[in-house]
Structure 1
Amino acid sequence: MEKTEKQSLPAATPGAYQERETWTRQMDFIMSCVGFAVGLGNVWRFPYLCYKNGGGVFLIPYLLIVFIGGIPIFFLEIALGQFMKAGSINVWNIAPLFKGLGYSSMVIVFFCNTYYIMVLAWGFYYLIHSFTANLPWASCDNPWNSPSCSEIFHQITCNNSYANGSFANSSWANVSISGNNSCTGLNDTRSPIIEFWENKVLNISSGLDEPGSMSWELTLCLMAVWIMVYFCVWKGVKSTGKIVYFTATFPYVVLIILFVRGVTLPGAYEGIMYYIKPNWSKLQEAQVWIDAGTQIFFSYAIGLGALTALGSYNRFNNDCYKDAFVLALINSGTSFFAGFVVFSILGFMAAEQGVDISQVAESGPGLAFIAYPKAVSLMPVAPLWAALFFFMLLMLGLDSQFVGVEGFVTGILDLFPASYNHKYKREIAVALCCGLCFIIDLSMVTQGGMYVFQLFDYYSASGMTLLWQAFWECVVVAWVYGADRFMDDVARMIGYRPFPWMKWCWAFITPCVCIVSALFYIFIIEKYLINVQTNMSFCCERLISPNICIHVYVLVGTSPARLHGDVTKVSRI
């Protein structure tokens, strides 16, 4: 096996201010990007959006925005890191006035690292409880069940909605309980799956103002996944590049197993047809196009700075242009394939309950922790399928999490070049990052923790935040540094000039897509979002919005004291 190289860059390279470790093999970079970008959203969000927005027709706006928004920014972030040999902050030395973009991405990825891991903690909790003869969420004879719990799953006569919440702009599950009784008699009936989630896992309180006590079981699960993350990242790309071979590929093995099992279940064909059946009229709805755009920005992990950090460990002459297209194909292909897995199982669940698939089709945690546990409880050998699913969920989230931590730590260490001479600088930095995030996460393992989680999700890394970040990245590279100039830099790295389509996207098309999507988000979508607590949410949105960093840095940089005698700092190398 090759030893990890230390690469000194040619003098012409802007990022040549320090030696930088590189990937042992280029495949390490590919697998790390796959692990980071291919995550939970590919499995639990894209299939639902595809079904909701016209089935196969949804692929038209989706693929269009992939080529005019997703790939151009994906390539831009990787190429910036590779050219500058720096993390998400120092890459913006190409335009120092806009270095706030780097700080903004650092804040975004820090918030993501903080709350995203809660999904892993919940998944780990479910995984542990899957190793039983009888799944604990399949019956009503547990200490956490209420007298109104019912195990009846047949033709719908009454509907009980779980909760008014969302995750990644996707609604929570509407879970229906039914029987041969009248609606009057079933008004208070609750599913054992719902009660396991609400009463056992979350032990949820009535609101954000009632934090309640901590769950020590969830705390231990949270600690366990943070320890996993630490030991995946602590040695840098030498360890990360090896671990991702398992964490990035094993979910595909499980997806294939679940697909084979799913298509053999009764009702699977109807479920798959619901997923892909085209509804051409949907193309006339603006919401379909916005859903396509926001899904791409989420699933491609744009604006977080982690792709820049991963690219910074590439060899200077690596063909990152080709890599961007390969990774985009893997990402979008995974999303589409996952839909067949999800809807074959949802079709089975609908057939077993005698309901329409629209009544069981969910996204987000509603799929992972309510709909899918309900589905496996109806299967033979239910614990096996539950364990496989939640282990896949853990692997999907784990590599996204530790690469996110890698991106944050890389940016921090780059701010202090002298720290690279310290023997244990990385181990200490990773420990501090994980420890700080763990302390913040303790607020999410309380009875009111779900409300804290939702606040982070709504506002710290929302669609609006990522759209604004992507808009400024394109504007700065194309108009401040210069699109042609950056294309020349890329040509120096990869040996040829990319197709002009890239610079046209950076300069005109992608910023327009971001602005139109952002305006739609502000004036239409946000009006319908159901907040945890309106006043508290409004304040938190303004206080923790990461994009503030961009504007503050520009204001400070353009102050008379800073500009006096040095107006050349707006754009330089």
Structure 2
Amino acid sequence: MANTAHLVRRQSSRDLKPQKSVDRLEMKEMRGRLVVDSRKNPTTNYGTTNPGFDDSSPSTKAKKPNAAAHVSLNVSSSIVESTAPKMPTGSTEGKGIFRPEAGEDERENWDSKLTFLLATVGYAVGLGNVWRFPYLAQKNGGGAFLIPYFVSPYLGGIGISSAVVSFNVALYYNTIIAWCLFYFVQSFQSELPWSECPNKYFQNGSYAPEPECQESSPTQYFWYRTTLMISKDINTPEVFNWKIALALVIAWILVYMCMIKGIASSGKVVYVTATFPYLVLIIFFFRGVTLPGMSDGLRHLFTPKWYTLTDPVVWLEAGTQIFFSLGLAFGGLIAFSSYNPVNNNCYRDAIMVSLTNCFTSMFAGIVVFSVIGFKATMVYEKCLADRNSTLIGIFGHPERFPDEIPPAGTLLNFTNGNNSVDNIIMPEIPECDLQKELDNSASGTGLAFIIFTEAINQFPGAQFWSVLFFLMLFTLGIDSQFGTLEGVVTSIVDMKLFPNLRKEILTGAICLVCCIISMAFAHGAGSYVFVLFDNFSGNFPLLIIAFFECIGVSYVYGLRRFADDIELMTGNRPGLYWLICWKYLSPLAMLTILVASFVEIICEGSGYQTWVPNKGTTERQEWPTWALVLIFILILASVLWIPMVAIFRALGILIIDDNEKAWFPAEDLKEFHGIVPHEVTAAETLLFCIRPDGSEGLCCPTGGLNDDDDDIDNGNLT
């Protein structure tokens, strides 16, 4: 939905910057700013086709001022002015649709279509495509405020919830970028610091390899001890991790510098950040397909495990992956799209970005698992070599190996050359299982910082590959962070919470606040707090928000009106498949996943993995009480706005200022696309209960011209 929700704009970006060419729609705009409907007997219309807009908010319902349009348009350094006659806004004839003054609500626009697509692809294609998608695939079996508000004022809380989720995700997402920066800097050493176990020195001057490192591996030790400085559990912060804190500060400064001028600055950066990862993935692809064990990794990735489809957690994680990967319900896509021309083909953009994201996930999965297959094969072959070496030391020759290896501790009797009996206690023989190595090779962030780094250690010129890999992760992460924060900044700007604050100052203030709060991830227990945010700040809130978005569009606003809007914007009407998905399939799927996931958590509990130094591995622990309270607050703070705004609105209390009317050139677009009124088909009538007057069953009309008592007539898009 976020891909098509930018159909509505407060103001066309064409007013704010000279364009390279003038199309028919622009010529129409220059001829006049007033669109008049001369029909004598207007009926209740919906969406962008509504001939008028009556403001009935509690604060302005008694006010009906006259309106005049006086707008200047800058086209190729020429100023064209047009003035419309004054007309009463409440009249039923000659109802005018007025554009707001450009100077009152100035809005940026993209330099070109390519810039927008790169920014959107960069936002959608992020770190999750590289480590989250491959991990989940093998594990499980193969202007955000504006849009909901104009659908219905009672649904204004959906946009606020999206902004809150974006803020929460931005907090911990930059921690991943900080880790990538730390590893990127460490990669320039003459010998990679995670290639060998460090030595532990004693008072007598002797030394030995670090026992904890020998119990695990050099890459695990460097990740948990050197990078995270990890504590035993979430209740024990221990030391402050100044290295990660410094990396966090640098990461937030870089994000702010790229966003300081809004899309004018971030739009330039995405030319690098959106294209560089593909170059690196292609390089790693050709390297990966030449590695031994590549086929085992790919077979493990694509072999389906059908029994996992009965697990609701699989569906929750799959749904969350789609939401995270595409940026759905965050509001970032809506914010980016709000800077597009009013007649931008959002349908084509949605398909293009979705297919690009899908292709990138699959391509990254192939790259990652070709390397994982190589790493698992190396470990498996080393295990076999150690096993055979131990058995040869006991039995002397491979032909003398027994069919079944005796268990460890078994007393073995051998007759030597002097006919005497030697007693040998059977040592523990390692079990070598390639499938087990593949199963244990992917585990969240450890996939990038443990498994991939261990594989890179085996490459000739490991430093080069390490620099390339972590630079790719950095670029993947930072342009996704642009979109996440843009959803927050654009919402605050459009809601006019700080009308006298310049956007670059507001962006800096948000980055500063986020940087300070993100220090919660820069101590011994910081990685556990990170897992808490990663598991709960996005999963459930995003599904809940998307569910109410579907309900708002399909049952409150109405599918027919929504389809009319899309047809006005793109010239093409969405097919029956999309309408069925929006009204029935998507809400039902999300509701089922949510209920099943809540039941699963209640029945089985929820926990996190802690590092056990003496074992060199991780163990599961339950969340403490205070962490459960924090989880509850994270979810509630995100979704509570949805019912709260609706309740306050019903009580006549305005949380959101709705004085400003939206501008939408409906008649211009009808002429531009040659649109004729849509005749409802029998299938649409049967499936969506469309009545003779154009309204729908299970639909709550948002009012029309003569409905003065309906406080939700701002649901009209015009």
Give the TM-score taking structure 1 as reference length.
0.81
Q: Which structure 2 residues correspond to residues 5-16 of structure 1 after superposition, within 5 A?
A: 5=17
Change over 3 Å in CA distance of 1:45–1:363 after alignment to 2: farther
What are the superposed Cα offsets for residues 19-66 of structure 1, whole Å, 9 maximum, x if unpaired? 4221110111111111111111111122233233444xxxxxxxxxxx
Deviation of residue 300 (structure 1)? 1.4
Q: Relative to total residues, which structure has the larger strand share, 1 or 2?
A: 2
- Cα pair 1:270 1:347 within 8 Å, conserved: yes
Structure 2: which 5+ runs fail to align? 1-13, 20-25, 36-47, 54-97, 202-207, 381-432, 609-621, 656-707
- Cα pair 1:89 1:101 within 8 Å, conserved: no
Deviation of residue 405 (structure 1)? 1.4
Paired residue type of 2:434: D
Deviation of residue 455 (structure 1)? 2.4
Aligned match of 1:511 in 568, 576, 587?
587
Partner of 1:559 in structure 2? 651
Structure 1: which 5+ runs fail to align? 56-85, 152-188
Once residues 117 and 713 of structure 2 are traced to their aligned partners in structure 1, the CA distance between those partners, rounded to angstroms, is 34
- Cα pair 1:4 1:238 within 8 Å, conserved: no
- Cα pair 1:90 1:102 within 8 Å, conserved: yes
Q: Does residue 1:148 correspond to 2:211, yes or no?
A: yes
Change over 3 Å in CA distance of 1:339–1:136 after alignment to 2: same
Q: Does residue 1:123 correspond to 2:185, yes or no?
A: no
Change over 3 Å in CA distance of 1:566–1:197 after alignment to 2: farther
Change over 3 Å in CA distance of 1:143–1:51 after alignment to 2: same
Aligned match of 1:537 in 620, 624, 627?
627
- Cα pair 2:16 2:106 within 8 Å, conserved: no
Deviation of residue 270 (structure 1)? 1.6
Deviation of residue 373 (structure 1)? 1.2
Deviation of residue 568 (structure 1)? 2.1
Change over 3 Å in CA distance of 1:126–1:290 after alignment to 2: same
Change over 3 Å in CA distance of 1:417–1:91 after alignment to 2: farther
Partner of 2:337 in structure 1? 311
Partner of 1:260 in structure 2? 286
- Cα pair 2:148 2:155 within 8 Å, conserved: no
Paired residue type of 1:556: F
Deviation of residue 150 (structure 1)? 4.8
Q: Which structure 2 residues correspond to residues 161-176 of structure 1 after superposition, within 5 A?
A: none
Paired residue type of 1:135: L
- Cα pair 1:230 1:402 within 8 Å, conserved: no
Q: Does residue 1:469 correspond to 2:545, yes or no?
A: yes
Partner of 2:480 in structure 1? 400
Partner of 1:162 in structure 2? none
Once residues 283 and 519 of structure 2 are traced to their aligned partners in structure 1, the CA distance between those partners, rounded to angstroms, is 35
Q: Which structure 2 residues correspond to residues 332-371 of structure 1 after superposition, within 5 A?
A: 332-354=358-380, 355-359=433-437, 360-371=440-451
Partner of 2:126 in structure 1? 39
Change over 3 Å in CA distance of 1:279–1:218 after alignment to 2: closer
Deviation of residue 350 (structure 1)? 1.1
Deviation of residue 284 (structure 1)? 5.7
Change over 3 Å in CA distance of 1:243–1:559 after alignment to 2: same
Aligned match of 2:491 in 403, 407, 411?
411
SS at match of 1:45: helix
What are the superposed Cα offsets for residues 317-340 of structure 1, whole Å, 9 maximum, x if unpaired? 110001100111000111111111
Structure (1 or 2) with the larger CA radius of gyration? 2
Deviation of residue 90 (structure 1)? 5.9
Partner of 1:79 in structure 2? none
- Cα pair 2:238 2:525 within 8 Å, conserved: yes
Q: Does residue 1:450 correspond to 2:527, yes or no?
A: yes
Q: Does residue 1:434 correspond to 2:526, yes or no?
A: no
Change over 3 Å in CA distance of 1:90–1:474 after alignment to 2: closer
Partner of 1:64 in structure 2? none
Deviation of residue 410 (structure 1)? 0.8
Change over 3 Å in CA distance of 1:53–1:540 after alignment to 2: closer
Partner of 1:92 in structure 2? 149
Residue range with higher mean Cα deviation, 251-260 or 358-367: 358-367
SS at match of 2:630: helix
Deviation of residue 143 (structure 1)? 6.5
- Cα pair 2:148 2:158 within 8 Å, conserved: no
Paired residue type of 1:348: F
- Cα pair 1:98 1:476 within 8 Å, conserved: yes
Deviating runs (4+, > 6 A) in structure 1? Answer: 6-15, 143-146, 560-563
Aligned match of 2:712 in 554, 565, 569?
569
Aligned length: 500
Residue range with higher mean Cα deviation, 382-391 or 271-280: 271-280
Aligned match of 2:108 in 21, 31, 54?
21
Paired residue type of 1:410: T
- Cα pair 1:409 1:429 within 8 Å, conserved: yes
Deviation of residue 569 (structure 1)? 2.5
Q: Which structure 2 residues correspond to residues 48-447 of structure 1 after superposition, within 5 A?
A: 48-55=135-142, 86-89=143-146, 91-141=148-198, 147-150=210-213, 189-279=215-305, 288-354=314-380, 355-359=433-437, 360-416=440-496, 419=499, 425-447=502-524
Change over 3 Å in CA distance of 1:3–1:361 after alignment to 2: farther
Paired residue type of 1:22: N
SS at match of 1:568: coil
Once residues 148 and 590 of structure 2 are traced to their aligned partners in structure 1, the CA distance between those partners, rounded to angstroms, is 22
Once residues 498 and 179 of structure 2 are traced to their aligned partners in structure 1, the CA distance between those partners, rounded to angstroms, is 39
Paired residue type of 2:626: M
- Cα pair 1:4 1:23 within 8 Å, conserved: no
Residue range with higher mean Cα deviation, 6-15 or 499-508: 6-15
- Cα pair 1:46 1:295 within 8 Å, conserved: yes
Change over 3 Å in CA distance of 1:96–1:215 after alignment to 2: same
Paired residue type of 1:92: Y
Once residues 377 and 644 of structure 2 are traced to their aligned partners in structure 1, the CA distance between those partners, rounded to angstroms, is 55
- Cα pair 1:53 1:282 within 8 Å, conserved: yes
What are the superposed Cα offsets for residues 515-549 of structure 1, whole Å, 9 maximum, x if unpaired? 01111211125635314623123211222220111
Note the aligned Cα RMSD (angstroms): 2.7
Deviation of residue 283 (structure 1)? 5.0
Q: Relative to total residues, which structure has the larger helix share, 1 or 2?
A: 1
Deviation of residue 6 (structure 1)? 7.1
Partner of 2:426 in structure 1? none
Deviation of residue 495 (structure 1)? 1.8
Deviation of residue 555 (structure 1)? 2.1
Deviation of residue 364 (structure 1)? 1.6
Once residues 15 and 222 of structure 2 are traced to their aligned partners in structure 1, the CA distance between those partners, rounded to angstroms, is 49
Deviation of residue 570 (structure 1)? 7.0
Change over 3 Å in CA distance of 1:277–1:90 after alignment to 2: closer
Deviation of residue 366 (structure 1)? 1.4
- Cα pair 2:127 2:477 within 8 Å, conserved: yes
What are the superposed Cα offsets for residues 365-418 of structure 1, whole Å, 9 maximum, x if unpaired? 010111111111222221111111111111110100122112211111111188
- Cα pair 2:144 2:162 within 8 Å, conserved: no
